[in-house]
Amino acid sequence: MEDLVKTYGGRRAVDGVSFAVARGETFALLGPNGAGKTTTMEILEGYRAADAGTVRVLDLDPQRDGAQLRPRLGVMLQEGGLYRAITPREALRLFASYYAAPADPDALLALVGLADATRVRYRRLSGGQKQRLALALALVGRPELLFLDEPTAGMDPQARVATWELIRQLKASGVTVLLTTHYLEEAERLADRVAIIDHGRLVALGSPTALTRGDATRVQFRAVPGLDLGALRKLPSATDVAEPQPGVYALETCAAADLLVELTTWLRERGVLPTEVRVGEASLEDVFLRLTGRELR
Amino acid sequence: MSAPVRTDDRVAALGLAPSAMSDLERGRAAPLWRAVLAQTWVELLLSLRRGESVLVTLVIPAVLLVFFMSVGAIPVPIARPIDFLLPGTLALAVMATGLANLGIATAYERGDGVLKRLGATPLPRAGLVAGKLLAVVALEVIQVLALVLIAALAYGWRPQGEPALAALALLLGTAAFAGMGLTMAGTLRPEATLAGANGLFLVLLLLGGLFLPLEALPGWMEAVGHLLPAAALADTLRAALAPPGDVPIGSFVHLLVWAIVAPLAAALTFRWE
């Protein structure tokens, strides 16, 4: 899968996003709700045509070559999309019948932890069980490329960890995974590379470590909003200062220890009490906040 | 609720790894007939599992047949009431399956995103439609057997005329009513389809000449009834199932037009999401 550029929509749901995902890679689209993640996925899955740009999936055009492409893809949509009265086993057997060489339905049910619920009707399954069934249905065709839209939304923590483990196993066995999420932890744990999307634009792209490395020497604190950034920037050890959100301050530095001393002195002189002073490696959440000026949730 | 189990080597055991690509069948769609047969089976199974489907497709036609045979309220001279009422009930059964059951179920599948999800599988849309229509025909076979059995055992009905022609008429009726049902399912919200299909079902039941001859209705109702496909189907069935099996050409052509126009409307207007 390679070379992907596209613009979409009268309201520009996806605005000139480009990226390429290598075979065997796990790639996460990270962003808040409404950022354009799902639209991007649906263009790749062949549901929507891009208004501009080119899309290639497994060297095929999702619009023109859908019939060739679909047997090689596994798709998990945000909303389950299943018959209300069907049971998990019936659903897996039905979906298996669409593929020439499917995986074994019962083994898949065991793999996603639904062995006890094979005869329960879909509408009676819990939200997490529905998600796990949707994942099993995405896998039954033994896809080369897996699209997972918010794969662990609605799962309890235990099921979420187990699903992450399963996705890691799939990756280890060579399956290419493209997932959307608004859980930072999910992106950090699973993805080889993360694309941060906001307002339909790609604002950052790289491995979770590469995205956070640039902020390795960084001091962040919370205090009253509206502190004098110009004065903060004049602190001897500060190289850059920003207030990405009112009351959240991020200082770049080459000497974190010195900066901390200077900062606490400076704040005490002004009678400001900082909360949540953090030093060192930034998380993806910090990166996201800095790039988009808003928090994910 | 059970927690997902540790996966260990089961991902490999399931053959999910692309490295296990020695099998050439991987990444290919199944033969279409196999997918369509599986689809047909599931569609039929789910219909029989829904109480409201069984009610409208099997119970209501049987109850109406027995009811109208018992009250003997046919206002026109007919040698044997069953020869009038059985064809009418068969027409009702086809309406119930094609218009009400198929239309309403498909509308909810569209609303629930089932059709969208199936769109990401190798099952082509034509395969999905074929599966649905075959399930409709299979359910109609069950309906016809049940109704004919009731007519034969309880009222001494025997096949006469041209049963093959009657079967053809039932298939044309299926095309007409399934087309109407799918047109609603593909354009309206599920709740609107539910109301619309049930309302139309009632109108066709009353103005379709199924249990009451159209001539017994006030003039304007009779005129409306003659435009609708239910009367054309019932007339064709009655003529086909009575000796010598001569089908009135007007009714037959009328039915044929509906059998072409309604599915065409569905095909042109259907929105999958």
Judged by a CB distance cut-off of 8 A, whether residue A120 touches chain B is: no
Instruction: Give the count of domains, chain B.
Output: 1
Q: Does the residue B2 lie in any domain?
A: no
Instruction: Name which residue leads in pLDDT, B269 or A275.
Output: B269
How far does B125 lie from chain A, in Å, by closest CA?
11
pLDDT tens digit sequence for A63-113: 999 999 999 999 999 887 899 999 999 999 999 999 999 999 999 999 999
Confidence of residue A35 (pLDDT cuts 50, 70, 90): confident
Give yes or no for residue A1 having a pLDDT over 70.
Answer: no
> Nearest residue on chain B to A87, judged by CA atoms?
B46
CA nearest A72 in B: which residue?
A: B27
Beta bridge partners of A180: A29, A149
Mean pLDDT value across residues A2-21: 68
CB contact under 8 A, A77 and B13: no
3-state secondary structure of B156: coil
Q: How far apart are CA B173 and CA B259, in angstroms?
A: 7
**Residue B9 in domain:** no
Q: Does A104 touch chain B (CB under 8 A)?
A: yes
How far apart, in whole angstroms, are the C-alpha atoms of residue A261 and residue A145? Answer: 51
Judge whether B259 lies within some domain: yes
H/E stretch holding B72 reads: none
pLDDT of residue B8: 55
Provide the pLDDT for residue A2.
46
- Report the pLDDT value the prediction gives residue B3, as an integer from 0 to 100: 45
On the question of a common fold for A5-208 and A217-280, the answer reads: no
Q: Which CATH class is domain A217-280?
A: alpha beta
Rounded to 5 degrees, what are φ and ψ at A57?
-125, 120
Tens digit of pLDDT for each residue in A261-273?
788 888 888 888 8
For the segment(s) A5-208, the CATH number from 3.40.50.1220, 3.40.50.300, 3.40.50.2300, 3.30.70.1450 is 3.40.50.300
- Length of chain A equals 297
Residue A117, pLDDT score:
92
* Beta carbons of B14 and A94 less than 8 Å apart: no
Q: Given CB atoms, is A184 within the 8 Å cutoff of chain B?
A: no
Q: Mean pLDDT for each consecutive 10-residue tract of chain B (273 residues)?
A: 50 70 80 97 96 95 93 69 93 96 96 95 95 97 97 92 94 97 96 96 92 86 92 93 85 96 95 85
- B107 within some domain: yes
**Whole domain around residue B86: which residue ranges?**
31-269
Residue A280: what pLDDT? 65
The share of chain A scoring above pLDDT 90, in percent, equals: 38
Supply the pLDDT for residue A187. Answer: 86
Residue A100: the pLDDT is 94
Q: pLDDT tens across A178-234, in order?
A: 999 887 788 888 999 988 888 888 877 888 777 766 555 777 888 888 888 888 888
* pTM, 2 dp: 0.84
B249 part of a folded domain: yes
B126 touches chain A (CB under 8 A): no
ipTM: 0.90
Distance in angstroms (rounded) separating the CA atoms of residues B145 and B87: 13
Which pairs count as long-range contacts for B249-257, CB under 8 Å and 24+ apart, including other chains? B252/B169, B254/B229, B255/B169, B255/B172, B255/B173, B255/B176, B255/B229, B256/B172
